[in-house]
Amino acid sequence: MSGIIKAAAGGGTGLLESFKVAIVGSGPAGLSAAARASARGISHILLEKTSHLSDTIYKYQRGKYIMATPDQLPLRSDVAFEAGSRESIIDRWDDGADALKINVRLNSDIVSIQGSQGNFQLTLADGETITADFVVLAIGVQGNPNKVSQPGGDLPFVQYQLDDPKEYFDEHIVVIGGGDAGIENALGLAADPEQGNLVTLLQRADGFPRAKEANVQALHKARDDGRLDFITQASLLRIEKGGSGENPWVAVVDTKDGEARLACDRVIARLGAAPPRKFVEAAGVEFTGPDREAFPILSAQYESSVPGLYIIGALAGFPLIKHCMNQGHDVVEFIAGNTDLQPPDTPLLELLFEKASVHRSVDEWLDYIRTGVEILQDVSPLQMREFLLTSMTHYKRLGEVIVNRNDIGSSIFAIIDGSVRVEIDPNDKKKTVPIEAGSIFGELGLISGRRRTATVRAGEPTMLLEIPRNATLKLIASVPGVKRRMERLSMERQIGQIFGRVLTPHDVGEILSRSEIIPLRAGEAFINEGDHSTDIYIIRSGSAVVEKQIGGKDVFLSYILAGNYVGEMSLFYDGYRTATVRAAIKSEVVKLPGEVFERLLAENSEFRQTVEKQVAQRRRVNDYIEAKRESFSSVVDMHSSIARFLLEQEGLSEATDALVIDETLCIGCDNCEVACAEIHEGISRLDREAGNTYAYLHVPTSCRHCEHPHCMTDCPPDAIHRGPDGEVFIDDKCIGCGNCERNCPYGVIQMAAVPPKKPGLFSWLAFGVGPGPGEPKREWVDSHKKKDETAPKLAVKCDMCAGIKGGPACVRACPTGAAIRISPDDYLQIASGSQD
């Protein structure tokens, strides 16, 4: 880094030098801005508080893998950036700063910014002043960590960052803060038992609401394994002397069970950081509101309420590195007078609308879509740009199919122009329901994870926008308006789908206005046998089991999939619940008020008939069981317990295709595992012996291809997808982070490196060369891998042998027919006890 400090700290006080642009903060945004200024030959200075560039990234844990999301967004910066380790990125930026001869001034803490465009004065902590025509503020939010305010918080062993967890040995370490940073630090310190650290994490809340699910699970697992401990609802009172022997210091902690004293050699506080609002406001910048999360008010060109003062990067509300770097580049272009500059993704978006019949600019299209499509009303232009980059446009002629019934697909479609017809009756293509421009369809698959429920055709020349599942979920998560509108729409559709044909839109509206969505844990009952209630529930996502108490035992009656409703029986049994209904897995139900239904049943005879017809089957089963209460056959009992084992204990109620082994046939030869390894680069994706067994049905550890795959929930490179046959697979974007392995509740994902290539089958058979068929033993792998090469460990799981002729190898290679794959239809068969 030598040589880049041109404007060396001059002696004395007073005016140092004058520049066109002063850039405060050398993170991705500031560095990129300085690089652009340097490349354009604009006089500039890059001011950095610490002794190195990009302090936030510098303080990341050693070796941390940094993503370059959003993937599709092009990088527009004079400094290079691509996903990689913390070290590789820092090196590249340091080299870039050198090569571009950026005018950097390190150790320069700015304490105040005064003045206005053409005459800004920046005062440094050492009293010096720098003047500039323009100021770019890119100081991020991490430079301002929240500190430990309790007594002892100023002790030298209290730190706010952790560079390398491998540097600490045999220490008692208290980590404060249950956010991602705190959890990652605690896990890092406790990862290697050889280091002998005793790590305790303190978390103020009850649970870890701010952390990523994968981190929380890893933390729980680490505690279960005895590697560390954590205390929730705990807050630090003070750090004081009073320990014994080698540990003179103790952290006194207030817990829900009283005061606890923890020996501590080191305290790592990860209490988050706040935007340095006071400092920014002192320069005259206005914020969007008074709350802690508020951001400065900025123009489309990042100019704050102070003319000439620009704010970019995390402080402006953009936490992603790529956004920051692009903004750095653009802001200098704007300052230089290039105000027509389009965002870097404009060419890509132009491509998206290339085939449209009307010509509009990208901004006009964004506006047209945002105002035209109802659910997108509250989405900001920047969010629009982001999700559009992963979306696709489709132009369909009259009658052309958009989706087919039973297709696999979880994207949603927004109708920009034209309209579509939904074929509501698979047997009669003439029966259709229109959906007009501005609305969406396909959202049922998004919620329930099941196949497309109907064929949809264009009703006229139609322009559609297909938004992929992940982008939609992100929109729902980040824009409350989208979530609200989507929920209302899907409830309306579900009610309409079930009762719509006989109810007027007015009735549907009334039901809708009084219904609510209830989230349920696995096993939670929402209808209890014997209760007095007539509320009706639609299973929105997940599934439910219906049970009845017979002779002190819960007998399994039926299994209800998402998209169906339950609870109408009580309308025919004087308002009494005849059975208990519980969520089989984590589910969501829509509760519809019973009294509205009762009134509608009384008023609308057609509606009454429809519902009666639907409940006839359930009534028959119910009455039959009531009648046979005394002599309830053990066969039914058996079926009900097998169904319960598979659906609940083994979680097959959320599976779409699972491997099951008939233990009356299994000879334990493990040829299924051998076949799996043989067909998949030498790593078996199933463990036959592991897993539970009930009534000779063994559910081995192998992927069930869940409706809502848990593994997909937090995959940083978005490498997990559902394939055309319903298989959930991991593509080669996997970076080996292990999130999916931690997120899978069934333990079917492993992190493994591809073993070296082994000699062929014939050389093994004839000459005993190589390890033979199946997964090679570790010793063989160790002795045969290339010396200087360590194959990366990536996530490996069953892909249902997609694309391999003949289908799943485990089933084909079973010599006795014990291995079978089953799908939801089979469970329903089990549940009802009918097998022929």
Q: What residues make contact with other proteins under the rule CB under 8 A?
A: 639, 642, 660, 662-669, 671, 674-675, 678-679, 689-690, 692-698, 761, 765, 772-773, 804-806, 809, 811-818, 820, 822, 826, 829-830, 833, 835-836
Cα 823 from Cα 836, distance rounded (Å): 16
* Ranges of H-type helices in 44-156: 55-58, 86-99
Judged by beta carbon, residue 109 or residue 663, the one nearer other proteins is 663
Min CB(820)–other proteins separation in Å: 5
Cα 822 from Cα 819, distance rounded (Å): 10
Min CB(747)–other proteins separation in Å: 14
Judged by beta carbon, residue 98 or residue 637, the one nearer other proteins is 637
Between CA 133 and CA 139, with CA 134 as vertex, the angle to 5 degrees is: 140
Min CB(671)–other proteins separation in Å: 6
Label residues 42-75 b or e (16+ Cβ within 10 Å = b): bebbbbbbbeebbbbbbbbbeeebbbbbbeebeb
Judged by beta carbon, residue 398 or residue 638, the one nearer other proteins is 638
Q: What is the pairing mode between strands 129-137 and 258-263?
A: unpaired
CB 556 within 8 A of CB 639: yes
Q: What residues contact residue 814 under an 8 Å CB cut-off, 6+ apart?
A: 671, 672
Judged by beta carbon, residue 270 or residue 698, the one nearer other proteins is 698
Min CB(140)–other proteins separation in Å: 51
Q: Which of 55, 277, 230 is nearest to 160 (CA)?
A: 55
Judged by beta carbon, residue 46 or residue 660, the one nearer other proteins is 660
Cα 719 from Cα 611, distance rounded (Å): 44
Judged by beta carbon, residue 64 or residue 812, the one nearer other proteins is 812
Rg (alpha carbons) of the chain, rounded to whole number? 31
Judged by beta carbon, residue 495 or residue 818, the one nearer other proteins is 818
CB 802 within 8 A of CB 728: no
Min CB(827)–other proteins separation in Å: 9
Min CB(662)–other proteins separation in Å: 5
Min CB(647)–other proteins separation in Å: 12
CB 302 within 8 A of CB 308: no
Judged by beta carbon, residue 272 or residue 774, the one nearer other proteins is 774
Min CB(638)–other proteins separation in Å: 8
For residue 280, give both structure tokens. Answer: 């920014």
Min CB(704)–other proteins separation in Å: 15
Judged by beta carbon, residue 97 or residue 813, the one nearer other proteins is 813
How many other β-carbons are positioned within 10 Å of the β-carbon of residue 3? 8
Judged by beta carbon, residue 134 or residue 729, the one nearer other proteins is 729
The amino acid sitting at 130 is I
How many other β-carbons are positioned within 10 Å of the β-carbon of residue 445? 21
Angle between helical axes of 505-513 and 594-603 (0-180°, round to 10): 160
CB 34 within 8 A of CB 44: yes
Min CB(696)–other proteins separation in Å: 6
CB 217 within 8 A of CB 742: yes
